Each structure stands twice: as C-alpha cells, then as structure tokens.
Structure 1
Amino acid sequence: MNHPRKLLVCSSFVLVFNILFFRPSSSDGLNFEFQSLTLRNLTLLGDSYLRNGIVGLTKELGVPSSSSGTVIYNSPIAFFDPDSNITASFSTRFAFFIGNVNPSSFGDGLTFFLSPDNQTLGSPGGYLGLVNSTQLTKNRFVAIEFDSKLDPHFSDPDDNHVGLDIESLVSIKTANPMSVGINLKSGNLITAWIDYRNEETKLEVFMSYSSFKPEEPILTVDVDLSDFLKEFMYLGFSASTEGSTELHFIENWSFNTYGFKPVRPNIHPHNVSESSVPLKPPIPVSDSGNRHHRRLGLGFGIAGPAFFCAVLVVFGWISVRRWRETKNDRNLKAELMTGPRQFSYQELKSATRGFHSSRVIGSGGFGTVYKAFFTHSGAIFAVKRSKHTHEGKSEFLAELSIIACLRHKNLVQLQGWCVEKGELLLVYEFMANGSLDQMLYRESEDNPLQWPYRYNIAVGLASALTYLHQECEQQVIHRDIKTSNIMLDGCYNARLGDFGLARLMDHDKSPCSTLTAGTMGYLAPEYLQYGKATDKTDVFSYGVVILELACGRRPIDREGACHKMVNLVDWVWRLYSEGKITEAADVRLNGEFKEEEMKKLLLIGLSCANPDSAERPTMRRVFQILNNEAEPMPVPKVKPTLTFCNSLPLSIDDIISDDDDGCRSPDSQFEIVVG
C-alpha cells in the first residue's frame, strides 16, 4: 500500500522540479516574415485595405479627404516574462512607401506601434490613426512615427521626421531622415529597421532606399521600455490624412523577439563551495573481474531512474497543461488571445436584461438580435439568439465556422459564441447605425444617408465580396446578400453580416446543387431554376443592393396603393433603354449627388443583375470600376432574356401571393425555400 504513496511523492518532486527549472515558457521568442501580406495573419481596421499583397492604410481617393486606418498582427506577442522579470528585446524590418496623386497635398504620416489593445484605431490628421482626438489618453502604445507634416500641436520639428512616441504623439526624440538622403514623401520604397535591446536600454531606427541595412542609425534613443511593454502586446501599423491625398502602403514585414530566456540557477547544496570540502582520494580496488558487472550495474542505475524521471516529467507536464486548459477562471493571458471566445449563458442573459423585449434591435429567419451591455467592461455587443434550436443548429455552426476565420474591415466581426441551456447564441460587435434597410427606408423627412455615404457603402460591400470570393483560402459564397444583412457602423461604413446560409468552396471547383434559399428579389434566375449557388449569384444580389442604394426602392415593390408589383431591375433597365437612367435616382436625395457617380452606380447594378450569369463582372472588376481603376462594362440597352430547358415550377406571382385583401405591405420580406 505504500508504493502508490511513494510514487506520488516522487512524481510531485519531479513535477515541482520540472516547473521550477524546466517549465516551458513564452520566453523562447517569436519571429515571422511576410514577403507578401495576407489577411490570414492580419486584421484591417478603419480605412485600411489589402490589394495584391500590399496593405493600404488610408483611402485611395483622388480628392482631398480625411482618413485613418490600421493593420494589426492577429496574435499577441510575449514581451515580458513574469517568472524571470525580464523584458524581451525585439527587432523589426518593413518596407513602406508614401504616395501622392497631388504632390502639393501631403500629410500626415504613418507609424509602427506596439499596443496592449488589438482594436487600436485613432483619428485622422495629426493623430496618425493612433490616438482618438476626443480621448487623448485612451490608447496605450509605443510607436515609431514617420511624420510627413509639421504639426505644431505635437511639437513637430519639421515635415519630414522620424520619432519615438510613448503614449503621446509628442515625440521623446526625433531625427530628420534627410540626414541620410531619404525623403518620406518621395514615393520611393523605403526599408526601415527598428531594433530595441533591453539589456542596453537602447532603441535604434535605420532607414534606406535599398534592402541593405545601413551601419549607422538615423535615430538612437536611450530608453527603458520595460515599464511599457506588457506581458503580451499587439503589433501593427497606422496612418492618417486630413484634407490631403497622401497614401500610405506597407509592402513586406518581418519581426522577432529575443533575449529574455531566464538563466537557470546554479544549485550548490548547503551554499558551500567545492573548495571548502576536502576530497578523499579513491581507494584502489584489485578485483578487476567485477568491473564489467559494475559498469552494467552503473549503466542501469543511471539509465533506469533517468528514464523513469523523464516519463514522470512528461506526465506531470501534460497534467498541468490539461489542468490549465480546463480551468474555469481564465487569467489575463487567456483573455488576450485573439479570436471569438466562449461566453457564458449567464453573462449574456445579464447583458441583455434577460433577453428583454426592450433590447431587441432586429430579427430575421435565424432569430432575434439583442443589444447587450456588459456593465463590468462598458462594452456593447449584439447578441443573435436562435429562434429554433434544433432547426437552427446547422446554420449556427455554418456561421460560426465561416465568419470566425474571416478578417476584413467590411465584415461584421464575430466576438464570441455560447451553446448552453439549449440555446445557440452568437456575439457580434455592435453596429451603431443598424442595418442598411432600416436606414434606407425609414420614415423620416431628414434622411441622413446622403450620396457620399451610399457610394462608400457600395465600395465597401464590393471590397468585402472581393475578399470572400477571391482572397480567402477557400471561396465563401454568402447566398443571402440583401440590405437587411448589411450593417452600418458609426461612420456609415458597410459591414456584411449574417453568414447563416454561407457555403465554403474550393477555388475553381464546380458548385454543388443545393436547396434554393434566400430572399425574393435578390435571387439570380439560374439560382431559382437550378439551385446552384456560385460567386455569380452573389454578384446578382449585390447588383440589386446597388440599385436599392441609388434608387431608394425595394427589389420588389408596388406602385401606389395595392397596384401591380414592380421589379426594380426591370424598372431601371426600362429607364436605361429610354435614355433616362438618372431619373431612377432616389427623389429623397433632392438631386444632391454627382451625376457621373450616380450613372456609374446604376450601370454597375444592371451589369451585376444581368440575367445571363456569364455576362456579370467579378467583384474584383466591380471594385476596380468603383475606384476608377477599370473601365465600366458595356450594358445592353434591352434587358437580355433567358430560356431554361426546364421551366420554373413556380412563378413570381405564385411565390409571392397576395394577402386576402389583395394588398401587401411594401416592408414585407419574401423568404423562400424551393426544393
């Protein structure tokens, strides 16, 4: 009976020894190198975007504008080892360039920053996209600024300088890169190296037009960052403009931490030096015949316990690891990890006041959406609650598995989830301005959705669909693009959501035939006929949304009270064939729009809603046309007609039947599933 107890004592000793001296830690450092940037490892915030492996941080517009954007590495990086009380040294290299369509319009610059927050996004102008103009002390950061504008408010020395900023945009020390012949606004590709050596408390910045690191830095700062580099930090870049056409790009990036592996202590029993203990000479033994047996015994005597201890060490390490993984109270390190987290049912119930009707902000086929306020953190989220637990499970799993892996500034970001007490719950970031259909069709004389917002929504949605169709590792077909699934943030930027019907598909693979699902008016003809969802069916739905934006009319509406049903695509195409396409513009805009942009948007809508799927553009082409990077596609004057080999078993009138009184509200949504 004593053997298990002895084994437990031995295991405990080995485990304690292992934890004290051999415990794996985050102090081994990290390194990565991106020759071409992808959204697999990065999160884009604000106006930033990714194109051809290059990140643009500010809006690509040919007119003076104000803009700010951020790109952040998804995973937090260990910078401090609490066991050894050592802060990491680090080095980074990246290539950037600052372009400008108008050389006389410049400002404000870009930064490389480290922050404990993975949502760092600041204001335009001299705030460099790093600091909020209304909350100057909110964001914590260590940053190197590459400033292209003299801003006296932040004590800038000139309009071409590099500086070290610590939780303030008033630089601790600056240097002018012209000292080595570098002009930030030259438009040339510039490579920058930033090195921080913790043991020397020194930070150095090197810059060159070539990829070879110079021998001498342009900026050297004696600074101890150990008080500012927390246990885990996020890395990223930010940039901003204010009334200028300056553009900021990051082309490649590498980063590594090093130098904070704790030194293992030298163990001296009783704190007595070796020289203080007299050593007796070995006694010679003449029995040479037993040497072989003694060697074997010595070998087994060493190898056996060593092997046994190794097994116990592995067993102990696995046990501790499993214990940590199943621990209910998550520590700060776990909270800092990226990706959606699992919420408890109780905290979501409390945040929504027991899913009270006063907290309802929307509803749909999946269920009801509630506004959730978390009192302990002050955060506001939107919680989507399934209407039918069993029926909604497949859609819930589809949405969770798809959107959790997606990162784009024009997609609603999933924050967490909960499967408890028979409930299926998804937690999203809260969108201050609700859905596009609520904003577009609300009964108000003062419609805040003015033309610049509408055009920007069209661009943002095109960018999101380009990402889903062509830039993800697997192509994502949304299948339910409509105005009620497009959310608007506080600045009226489009955020595509509701991936309950989305499907993953390998690129260049034929689509699978499925049940037709979606909302009438947004469904492509071939999808209604054959039930095959492709990227071109998403393009059709996008075209209808674009026409809604321009015209302020629903996809299927009635002219006047209880009059005949009118299809929006047919109505706009008829006006186009009559040479009066701009008459389709929303009358509530009162003519306050750019006619060229209005005509472009209407023609893009018709191109995307072409009955012939082969004639529809890709979303990348649409995005390029909207950004004046490609010529618009020709649109036939008469709407093409298609003939299917098998007729659709139900007509539009059959699917959308009138109510008993012969009238249907224009606000009604027509949900269908056709086998």
Structure 2
Amino acid sequence: MSLLSFFTFFIFFFFTPTLASTEFDFGTLTLSSLKLLGDAHLNNGTVSLTRDLPVPNSGSGRALYSRPVRFRQPGNHSPASFRTFFSFSVTNLNPSSIGGGLAFVLSPDDDSLGDAGGSLGLAAAATKFVAVEFDTLMDAEFKDINGNHVGVDLNSMVSAKVFDLGFINVDLKSGDTVNAWIEFDGSTTVLTVWVSYSNLKPKDPILTMNLDADRYFNDFMYVGFSGSTQGSTETHSVEWWSFSSFFPSSSAGAAAPPPPAVTLMNPGANSAGSSSSLSPPPSIAPSVAQKESKSSSCHNGLCKENLGAVAGVVTAGAFVLALFAGALIWVYSKKFKRVKKLDTLGSEIIKMPKQFSYKELKAATKCFNANRIIGHGAFGTVYKGVMPENGEIVAVKRCSHSSQGKNEFLSELSIIGTLRHRNLVRLQGWCHEKGEILLVYDLMPNGSLDKALFEARMPLPWSHRRKILLGVASALAYLHQECENQVIHRDIKTSNIMLDEGFNARLGDFGLARQTEHDKSPDATVAAGTMGYLAPEYLLTGKATEKTDVFSYGAVVLEVASGRRPIEKDATGAGKGGVSSNLVEWVWTLHREGRLLLAADPRLENEFDEAEMRRVLMVGLACSNSDPLARPSMRSVVQMLVGDAEVPIVPTTKPNTGLSTSHSQLLLSLQDSVSDIDGIITISTSTSENSFSGIDIV
C-alpha cells in the first residue's frame, strides 16, 4: 500500500461522517429483536409465518425486525442501499391443498397485518409497502401468471414485475430449501432479485427494475416477512436471514440520527396554529431547537464552534500523521509474521484452494457463536458461516484443541485438498492462525442423510434414496480405485453423507481417512469408527482396507432402504415387529426366510419399484458379507445399482466366520453398555491384544 493511499484512508476514516447503517442476521437476532404478528411463531430455530395444522386453515402472519431501519436521509431524501439474503421452505401435508405463499416486505409500520388468502398478509387498509412475493397461489384477482412465481409488489397485490420460476426449475412447493438474494442500490435506485436452490448466488438475476424510492420509501421502514394461507395446510418457514443497509458515501448529511418528535408550525396558520407532528422511532439525538439556537449565534464571521472545529482539524491532522507511521510499521510486521507462519505448514497445505484469514472466518461465524453450530465431525465442530464480503454461506469446521484433533485435521486437509469429485463435499479453503486450524467447505442446504431419514417431517422419497446411494458408491469408487493414491475413508455413515440442493450425495468428514499406495498391504492401526458400520475384521485386527469401507457402505444401504439405524436401541425389538438390534443380522434373517421386501421402510407406503428395492437390499447384503473377499468392489456396486451388472448370489445363510462370531459378541456387549443412548458410539480397539480399549459417544 502506497503512502498516498494510506494517508487518504486515514483522512477518510477520521473526517468522513459515520453513515447510518443497520446489520443483523439470525445468528445475532434475539427474541426481543423480532416482532411476530398473527400466526407467526418461532419453531426449532426457524420463523414460521403460518400455523402448522393437520387441517386446512386460512390465516396470515408477519415477522419483522423490531427496530425501524432508516431508508431516507432527512432533507435530501437520498435513499439507502440494502441487501438481504434468506433461506426459506414451503411445505404442505396435503399437496393438493394449495396455499398462499410468503413475501419479503418493507413497511412503514409494524402493527398492520393483511388478510388471509392470496394477499400474503400484505394488503391492509391505508398500508404502504414494498414487497418481493414468492407466490404459490394463482389468484385471478391479482392477475397472477401462475402458482409458482416471484413478483415485486408496490402498494398493491398486482405485481409491478413478475418472473416464472419454472424457467429456472425452482418449485416453491417442493418442500426444498430455496435461497433468495435481494439488493437495492440507492445511487441507481435499481432493485435486483436472485433465486436458487444453491447457496451460491447465481450470476444472472431473475428480476431487475427501477424503484422510485422517494415514492415508496418513508424515512424509516420496518423489514421482515409476511405469509398467508387460503384454506390450506401449507406452511412457510424462514430458516436463515441476513440484512444490511447503508447510505452511499456521497450522502454527507447521512450521519445525523433521527431527531425526537418536534412540532412544525405552519406560518400561514391562524392564531390557534396548525401543526403536524413527526414521530420518528425512539433514537434520541440532540434537540433540533438547540442546534438552531446555536447556529443563530454565528454572524458573518466564524462562530466559536467553527473556530473550535478548525483547531480540531489541525490537531487531528498531526495525530493522523503519527498514527499513519505506526500503522505502516504494524502492517509490514504482520505481513512478515504471516509469511513466516505459512512456511511452517508445509508446501502440501499451501496448495489448498484458498487461504482464509482468521478474522474473516471469525466474522462469518459471529465469533464462533453457539447458535451457529450445525454439527460435530471427527475431532471438530462445524459452524454455519456467512462470508462478510459476498454473503455466501459456508460450513466452517473448527478443530478441537487436542493434539490428536489437530493431527486429524491436518490429515483431513492434506487428503481432501487433492480430491475432486461431484459426490464429495468441496473444500473451499483453510486457515491456520492464532493456534486454530479451520477448514471451509460448501454448505449443504439439505443437511445430512441421517437427518433426512430420521428427523424430516416428510419421508425421503425412494427416488432420492436411490440417487443418494448411487452417488456415495460413485464417490467411494473414485477414492478406492481412481485417485492417484488410494483413500480409505474409515468413517462411512449417514451422518457423514451430506445432501446438496438437489438431494445429491456429498461424502464428507475425512478426519479418520488414510491415504496409501494402490495394492499396498495396509498397516495395522487403532480401529476407529461408529458401532454398526464397522467390518468384523477391521474391528478385530485394526487393518482398514477398501473392503472395510465396502462393509460400512453396505450398512448405509440397508439403513437407507429400511429407514432403521444399524444398531437399534431396543435389543428385544419391542414395538418394532420383533426387529433385531443389529440391522444387518435382521435383514439377513428376512432374506433367509424369503421375506426380504419386509425390510423396506414402511414410511414409503410401498411407493417404490419392488425390483429396485430388492436389488438395493441385495447389494446391501453383498457388501455386508462377513467374508471380506466375498464383498464386491465399489466400482462393481455402481454397475449393479445402475443395472449394468447383476448382483452376486447372496447365500440365504450369512457366512459364519470366526471373525463374524467375535464381531457380533463384541457389538452386543458394547450395545448393552450404551442401551440408553441409541447404541451409536465411536469405538477403538487395541490391535496388539484384540481387546476393546475405549468408547467415545458421538
């Protein structure tokens, strides 16, 4: 940075008035900073605008940021710029029962709530508003083009401009998370809207239009969301929201905060007086009357205040020069330290996609706020982050501060940084500062596979499940046979399989992965993984191979097809039709009895092709064979799932090897010790004595 640019920066910093701005997101909002009207309510960390009822209902709700936002400057009426990003979903217990939709809204008051039905809770008597609607109901009264569009509403439910979301293959009523970006440029008065299933803002907007801010904005507006239903079970949930507003730097007068209420007298009024009362929000500033009385004491020359200001400028100028010299020294010393720090990490890490600064990741996660935690991986915690420069949503994995945690992170970083596959979670970059190791990944909007299977309101459709299993198999075939060095994942389970916006599988969490040369005999290590997914030979010998990954994949296949976890909490299977505690054993029993299709998830209500279900279950059993030599390769599994190869003959009786018997006995003994925590644990064994050595609850 040149001397001139540094000097310019400090002069601008010290002498440019601070411009009014507002910034918040879901990570910083509290209950007191939200105002909920009508049917709006909080539900598991999201804002629901309408009621979640099993019977059709007509209602409306509105959720607003409780404090008003300045949108115009006093005097010159220069409009503020703003940008907002939000994720939302529209779900319906009865798809034939169409609802109303929701809208992002700017309104001058925080008390009005529009009617139910197709008005999205917007239209109300004498209410002024600007809204971007996401409409799921075609209403002829409002001249809607269809029941799946975005529109800009200006004091009217008849949209000034609309866009059919079918053109970008977005279906508001799909139940999937939809992301939206809305920006308004105060200097050009252009409003722009982007929509996508992806959490990356698309290159091309769907709507762009000029907005007469002076006509539609008040000095202060409330921002938030509004939604409604019309005899429907449709629900509208806002899952994430960030908002920021600012005034262009050219608006020099922007600094003044709103004055208290004052009475303006009409000079032409009679003696009784005619007045209009201005009632801005409760931001108290020095009295306007006091300012005017001070200015009246100045005559043709400089007033005392102005003389003081000049003296202050001279003093501040000297201070700025001194500060500049110190800042210059500080910048160069930091740069030197940073280069030195990079050298200590090794060349393999410097080749990673991008190095983030600790400062920007700390800002993105709001100082690693507990409200931003979205998961816990191997030896680390995962946070949702919103990058301050572009609003992109990412997943930030922060390693535990133990030496083992740091070793696992460096291992994960060195392995996944070299991998490129459509079914692997993409690593965006890394950070190693202040004793912290941080990894930055794409955030998967549909969460993990285990949550989609066991926590989602609606059952995961069979078509999604087949696509997910094929994606994971493709990723493992790449790791095992197509990489320069073979990668053994060692921790394949549904919680480590993430789902993108299209429910495509992305295998992640490489904290336990090991990289070896192809065809090289594996070394014995400490076995680590999750109960129910571990191959018997790996648990007892500690040698991880591609076949141990295949066994874990087989357990995942059976879990996805059956909707049951690999190890059930209730060993007796009470209340579950006599289900065995071990999923693999149970499915093998059904196969032996000729009742294999009874393993299908009952929540699918038989909405699947029986031949496909049978094929998938047989693939799961083939991969779960207790004899590692009988398990197929992952490349063969891919061919089986797409129908290009036949599933190998699976014996009706599970092969009984010594390893299999010892494996079952150990799993049962471990299960008894944790029967009250769903039977899911991470275990490690001592390979020298083939004995159990530790349990970590996950």
Q: TM-score, normalised by structure 1?
A: 0.49
